[in-house]
Amino acid sequence: MRIPLIWRPAPTVQQAPAEIPEPVGQLDLAPTFCQIAGLPIPEWMQGQPLLSVRGSSRERVITEWDSQFAQIGLHLRTIYREGFICTVYEPTTRDLGFDLARVYQAFGIDRPLPDIRYAGTEGELYNVQEDPLQWRNLWNDAGYARLKSDLVADLYDHLPKPRDPRLQVEAPA
């Protein structure tokens, strides 16, 4: 989930290149491009332009990922805060997304559909400072239980409201 980004502002932006120590997310890219192009940033965009993030004292970045296939039903919610990445695996669903069987049929795939199931108690927790490659999952480490609980509560306290009505997946991406 950690994606390095090197961006050198165009001279027309009149912004010196700099490192941004605050957490940033992929949602920050679209508002950044709007700002560079001199376009208004739509109200529905959730990120902030990178040029305004530096020095903002932003505490966290939240990322959501939902499988586009109904049979997979994977829903991840992640928070990055204070050098820790915490991902919650929400309960598996089977009614949201595109029918993976149609993809299998279209490509002549003859194998069973995946059977991935999560109860909503699983997750991942990494100390990015000590473990930058995220090899050691601290989710079940009793020494991190309080921090995990705090991060999960912070995540759900700041999670954006879901779109209502929910957009339907009409075809796989």
Residue 142, domain CATH: 3.30.1120
145 inside domain: yes
Single out the residue in 6, 38, 58 at which a domain terminates. Answer: 58
What pLDDT, on a 0 to 100 scale, did the predictor assign at position 56?
Answer: 67
Query: Shortest CA distance to 51 belongs to which of 13, 80, 23, 83?
Result: 13
In tens, the pLDDT along 39-71 reads 999 988 878 887 666 666 778 888 888 998 989
- Torsion on CA atoms 51, 57, 59, 65, rounded to nearest 10: -10
- Encoded tokens for 144: 């991190």
Instruction: Please say if the pLDDT value at position 86 is more than 90.
Output: yes
- The reply to whether omega before 165 is within 30° of 0 (cis) is yes
10 inside domain: no
- DSSP letters, 1-32, are ----------GGG--------S---GGGHHHH
d(CA 70, CA 58): 35
In tens, the pLDDT along 123-164 reads 999 999 999 899 999 999 999 999 999 999 999 999 888 878
Three-class SS state of 132: coil
The answer on 75 and 149 residing in a single domain is: yes
The answer on 63 and 143 residing in a single domain is: yes
15 inside domain: no
The answer on 63 and 48 residing in a single domain is: no
86 inside domain: yes
pTM strictly above 0.85: no
d(CA 65, CA 87): 10
Single out the residue in 40, 58, 76 at which a domain terminates. Answer: 58
The answer on 38 and 119 residing in a single domain is: no
Number of domains in the chain: 2
The answer on 47 and 92 residing in a single domain is: no
Longest dimension (CA), the chain: 56
- Encoded tokens for 62: 């939240």
Domain range holding 44?
A: 23-58
d(CA 156, CA 140): 19
103 inside domain: yes
Query: Shortest CA distance to 67 belongs to which of 41, 35, 90?
Result: 90
The answer on 111 and 30 residing in a single domain is: no
